[in-house]
Amino acid sequence: MTYRYFIRLAFRGTGFHGWQVQLNGKSVQAEMIHALSTLLKEKTEVVGAGRTDTGVHAHKFFAHFDSSKQGLSGNRDLIYNLNGILPKDIVVHEIKAVKALAHARFSAISRTYSYHIHQVKDSFLDGFSAYFPGNLDLEKMNRAAELLLETTDFTSFSKGKTDVKTNICHVMLAEWIRDEHRLIFTIKADRFLRNMVRAIVGTLLDVGYDRLCLSELKRIIERKDRSAAGASVPACGLYLEDVEYPEDVFL
């Protein structure tokens, strides 16, 4: 008999080629598989809540794994030992027992990302925030972000040739806030397409720099053409902040 567990972790993405196992690159998933397999003394596959691009960070990421061992939920010794094996840029926070059919990716009901920008050169933010100096119209960027709440087809902000069946997403929150010389964009949706957040942020920055007006943004969305939208912003400023699941997946 096997038991399924969700594991909550965080990672600094700078040194990784994303979550997904890569043939020629270091990945968070590969590190998790190695650590769990070593400690549980059995080959342990780990399935993540989704892919992240190279350099993207996560404050709250979930994955699931199956084990023949019962009672791993809340096991502080296992968490301590995992953190001892894992590299310093990955931290395990929690292990919880879930139902047999619970899935870290497909059971999720929403995900929240944030994108961080600094407008004054700051050596302490290098690698954790993107540098975009100059005058940005925050009010106009927030009006543009509101259009995303009315949008369902995000083809214009999706990387081409992906294996998804639909580009339909439902955005529940999209807003910018200012914190001194920093700007933070937060977006929450039921699902995200590959490169979607970075493409949205790049396009909203075009609005903020007055290179794009709101009517032009509407037309970009309606064209359903990635080449019409703005450039993708650097991965270093992107964070997965949360993944939500129905309460009934947990035991």
Catalytic site residues?
53
Q: How far apart are CA 82 and CA 44, in angstroms?
A: 13
- Contacting residues for 224 by C-beta, under 8 A, at least 6 apart: 153, 155, 156, 167
Q: How far apart are CA 200 and CA 156, in angstroms?
A: 9
Q: What is the CA radius of gyration of the chain?
A: 19
Contacts by 25-30, CB closer than 8 A, 24 or more apart: 25/54, 28/52, 28/61, 28/90, 29/63
Asked if 229 and 202 count as a contact pair (C-beta separation under 8 A), the reply is: yes
Phi and psi at residue 214, to the nearest 5°: -65, -35
Q: How far apart are CA 159 and CA 69, in angstroms?
A: 40
Asked if 107 and 62 count as a contact pair (C-beta separation under 8 A), the reply is: no
- Side chain identity, residue 82: L
